Structure 1
Amino acid sequence: MKKQHTMSKFAFFAMTASLFITVYEYPTFAVVGKSLIFYLLLCGLGWFLPVSLCSAELATIEGYQEGGIYSWVGKPLGEKYGFAALFFQWFQVTVGFVTMIYFIVGTLSYALEIPAMNNDPVFKFLSVVGIFWILTFLQLRGTETTAKLAKYGFSIGIILPVLVLFGCSIKYFMSGHSISPHFTHSSFWPTKATIGSLTSFVLAYMGVEASATHFSDLEDGKKNYPKLLMLLVIVGIVMSTIGGSVVSMVLTGDISSNEGVMDTATKLISPGHVSFFVKMIGFLTSFGILAQVSSWIVSPTEGLQFAATKNLLPKKLAEKNANDVPVRILMIQGVIVTIWAALLTFGSSGSGGNVGFQTAISLTVLIYLSAYILFFVSYFVILRKHKTLAREFQIPGGNLVKGIVAGVGLLISIAAVCTAFIVPSTVPSSESHLYLISLLAGFIVTLAIPFVFYHFYARPKKKSAIIESGEQA
């Protein structure tokens, strides 16, 4: 029986866009001034475009559609590497959920004028956990719920606020206000002081490949998936450039990562007080990030569920409810996110907390980049050894162009890994050694986890399954 496609082109576009196009990164972009335009173009064209093109090709290779990055890496490089890539993709988002919801909490605290919501650790922890678990239980209703949230969240929670802020900024500057010296005096080209920001800009484009797990749900996926990814590249670069530039051009002095967008809205719309329209911007952007969290809750877990069917994880994890959702995996994920929320919220409130928080963020980026490095390496293996495999979409220009595209993406991934070890300005110089040692140790341990698990659980499990099937035969 042919599978009923459940997602329209716009629903798929909105859900994929909400995986990576987000408002909460704008203050981070704004810190580097005009260089944000350079970094967004570099990472958009030199990293996001290669990821999009390569994933579009891999997703349309016959037999590679199921499991997303697990199949893309596992089939050419070997099962354990596919499992590792899948683990890295999932693990990083368990921390990413907390940082995304931190932005929601900070924005709602600003809009509702309840400072304790963002400043009191207990209040903040309960808010983060409450929001995440509500969204998790909503996902139990199936992909249709996720698609609806993503569609409306992207339209009115990301596109609308950015357009409003852009329009208000034009009016603001036309009425005689000057552009922030922070923006005008900054360099378009990267400097020694801003090179460490490369990792943040790569992070801004991470996640587009996670939509591949919904490939089979998309209407005429083989035809529409590559086209939608190309459109996402353009929209992603334009939206991020506009949003980051507006924040950088309007704000002076230190830019708050949690409240930078709201500070910008206040200065543009009602300087000196939080007006009704500023609050509406806050509610809309919060809804947009909620949609992003919602999209991320299910996408990586579907890959884990596929791995469970291959005996790489306990088979009970593969069981789904009536709405085709892997409930046990979502519950385990929820517990892990709750633990992260406690560690980051209460750990960051004490001495050395900023080091712990920054280490956790940098670690997630490094782990995700590890998955992308495996992704590009697997593409090169396919390009060299499996070029005859049938595929609906290919990067145009032949093998030379394919090699250049994937090579640029791989080089930027490696460069981003290196810049992640540049100590951020938010970490006191007296604690820079602690930051680097913690980050390196955490990186090595996390890299080892999937390989150790595969060696001691998955490989013996698969061997016993093969023996059992042989005996039954």
Structure 2
Amino acid sequence: MATNTNQAVKLGVFTLVIMNITAVVSLKGLPEEAVYGLSSAFYYLLAALVFLIPTSLIAAELAAMFQDKPGGVFRWVGEAFGKHFGLMAIWLQWTQSIFWYLTTLIFGAVAIAFIGHNSGLDAELSNNKYYTFLIVIAMFWIATFISMKGMGWTSRISKIGGLIGTVIPAVLLVILGIMYLASGGQSQMNFHTNFIPDLSNFNNFVLAVGIFSFYAGMEMNSIHITEMSNPAKNYPKAIFISALITVVVFILGTFALGIIIPQKDISLTQSLLVGFDNYFAYIKASWMSPIIAGALAIGVFAAVLVWVSGPSRGLYIVGKAGYLPHFFQRTNSNGIQKNILIVQAIIVSVLSLFFIISPSIDTIYQIFTQIAIILYQIMYMFMFAAAIILRYTMKDTDRPFRIGKKGNSLIWIIGGLGFIGSTLAFIICFIPPAQINIGSIVGWYAILIVTCMLFVITPFVIYTFKKKSWTDPNQGIPPFHWETKKKLLKLFRDELKQDEKE
């Protein structure tokens, strides 16, 4: 088996912040919330309160607590619920990312289409199913091959790509919105409506729950915590900076988009590019449209690159501990999980065929988004519960970052908020959004339920039939604390029995 030549790479706070922002902040989702107008800020802040803040705090405590033990959510959930649920957690983190790739790459295809100089033809091309299919496959396979170069390549490209394709366009979008209003432009968003939406209309929550997918992933880069310098201090710092920037970018970016596009004309996949086109046309700088489209495509690629190397790496580390066949444990000369990456790319390629057979791009975009959220929220529910349970089962373990200086009241509040938020998001995701034509309701429920059941059951099947021969003797995952306690207890009992015999 190959050895890892990338161990010397150390991630700093700035690099991890950019990697987090690149992984979490996706401007493609702004049109999804812009349809809510001013009340979109309410949804962003509500989701931040019940999901982003709990996720960031819990991930910071758990990652710092297990900074010397790889495995990420596998370690966190496994310590609280056992190996089989730990495997389920890391499996769901990986499988949900597959559907996330597809929704993100759809936007990447749209961005590439808008690099042209004819907005009408650009929009027509972005709606072409065969074009979308080919671009999605091409971008993902390129990202896969770059990921095989190692963490050094991934971190450098994702940092540069995140700045060019996410941070700069987000800042530019907000500046354009301010310039537009300051110069007398008419806002398409009504800022005199209620900040708090009509909560009696349950359908309003269906598209709004997509915000949970916007905020998801803040814990994902914890898999790289052993590659950081002073992780106990720097990881929580990077998490909090990333979370703050994320909320600000989403709220201001959504407002800027709603200002320039009428609510009735908003498309989930095209409106971000159309918004930039409209702003550039207003300031007589339409020549910038292809440039920003190219930048956004780079941002999508950088985001996919971060995710390709994250969950798959966690799955590989867990697989070496005996949870996956040897085929999935093979690495290349850079120590990268080549077979998992290739299998992942094949799955993405097969699922991309749905772009061709689906009634519309928006429909399949929404279905894949809902599946990703459902799978991810199951993992999050276990993560939040694990943080609370570990306060009691591992109460004496050192926590370099701890939620609340004394007692467990605050962990119950933070973890409880996150658990409730994830549960609500999980339930709401099964409700068809009124704003999108989904076709058959029966088909909608069948796709969501069958797909999610399949992916949830699979890790338990793998665990049931796993073989001892799958374990790599050089694997780096130490035993769970409860395994060590059981072994010590058994040793103590054996010694007592031996003493009694003597």
For the 8 Å contact 1:266–1:273, the answer to whether it is kept is no
SS at match of 1:257: coil
For the 8 Å contact 1:40–1:201, the answer to whether it is kept is yes
For the 8 Å contact 1:29–1:36, the answer to whether it is kept is yes
Amino acid at match of 2:214: A
Residue aligning to 2:496: none
Shift of 1:432: 2.2
Return the alpha-carbon distance in structure 2 between the equivalents of residues 204 and 169 of structure 1: 22
Aligned Cα RMSD in Å?
2.3
Return the alpha-carbon distance in structure 2 between the equivalents of residues 235 and 388 of structure 1: 34
1:22-171 aligned within 5 A:
22-62=26-66, 65-112=69-116, 113=118, 115=122, 117-171=125-179
For the 8 Å contact 2:71–2:317, the answer to whether it is kept is yes
Q: Does 1:188 align with 2:210?
A: no
Shift of 1:56: 0.9
Residue aligning to 1:347: 357
Q: Does 1:292 align with 2:303?
A: yes
Residue aligning to 2:291: 280
Q: Does 1:422 align with 2:431?
A: yes
Return the alpha-carbon distance in structure 2 between the equivalents of residues 266 and 355 of structure 1: 24
Return the alpha-carbon distance in structure 1 between the equivalents of residues 125 and 439 of structure 2: 31
Q: Per-residue displacement from partner, 1:306-342 (whole Å, max 9, x unpaired)?
A: 1111110013322322222111111111101111111
For the 8 Å contact 1:183–1:249, the answer to whether it is kept is no
SS at match of 1:226: helix
Residue aligning to 1:178: 186
SS at match of 2:65: coil
Shift of 1:83: 0.5
Return the alpha-carbon distance in structure 1 between the equivalents of residues 164 and 461 of structure 2: 44
Return the alpha-carbon distance in structure 1 between the equivalents of residues 246 and 100 of structure 2: 19
Shift of 1:349: 4.4
Change in 2 beyond 3 A, CA 1:110/1:243: same
Q: Does 1:256 align with 2:267?
A: yes
SS at match of 2:404: coil
For the 8 Å contact 1:348–1:357, the answer to whether it is kept is no
Amino acid at match of 1:18: T
Shift of 1:441: 2.8
Shift of 1:456: 2.5
Superposition TM-score, scaled by structure 2 size = 0.86
Q: Per-residue displacement from partner, 1:379-406 (whole Å, max 9, x unpaired)?
A: 1210222111122211134311111011
Structure 2: runs of 5 or more not aligned: 1-5, 472-502
SS at match of 1:303: helix
Shift of 1:363: 1.5
Q: Per-residue displacement from partner, 1:190-249 (whole Å, max 9, x unpaired)?
A: 531422234201111001111011101112111100111111111111111111111112
Change in 2 beyond 3 A, CA 1:288/1:356: closer
Amino acid at match of 1:53: L
Q: Does 1:409 align with 2:418?
A: yes
Q: Per-residue displacement from partner, 1:16-53 (whole Å, max 9, x unpaired)?
A: 22110111111112111112111111111321111111
Residue aligning to 2:220: 210
Amino acid at match of 1:293: V
Shift of 1:354: 6.3
Return the alpha-carbon distance in structure 2 between the equivalents of residues 145 and 152 of structure 1: 11
Residue aligning to 2:376: 368
The higher radius of gyration belongs to 2
Q: Does 1:359 align with 2:367?
A: yes
Shift of 1:414: 0.5
Change in 2 beyond 3 A, CA 1:358/1:156: closer
Amino acid at match of 2:232: K
Q: Does 1:200 align with 2:204?
A: no
Shift of 1:297: 0.5
Change in 2 beyond 3 A, CA 1:111/1:274: farther
Residue aligning to 2:457: 448
SS at match of 2:209: helix
Return the alpha-carbon distance in structure 2 between the equivalents of residues 375 and 425 of structure 1: 31
Change in 2 beyond 3 A, CA 1:166/1:331: same
Amino acid at match of 2:127: N
Deviating more after overlay: 362-371 vs 106-115: 106-115
Return the alpha-carbon distance in structure 1 between the equivalents of residues 333 and 35 of structure 2: 47
Change in 2 beyond 3 A, CA 1:8/1:194: same
Change in 2 beyond 3 A, CA 1:198/1:427: closer
- Count of residue pairs brought into register by the alignment: 458
Residue aligning to 2:336: 325
Given the alignment, which residue of 381, 396, 400 partners 1:388?
396
Deviating more after overlay: 394-403 vs 295-304: 394-403
Shift of 1:118: 2.2
Return the alpha-carbon distance in structure 1 between the equivalents of residues 434 and 283 of structure 2: 29
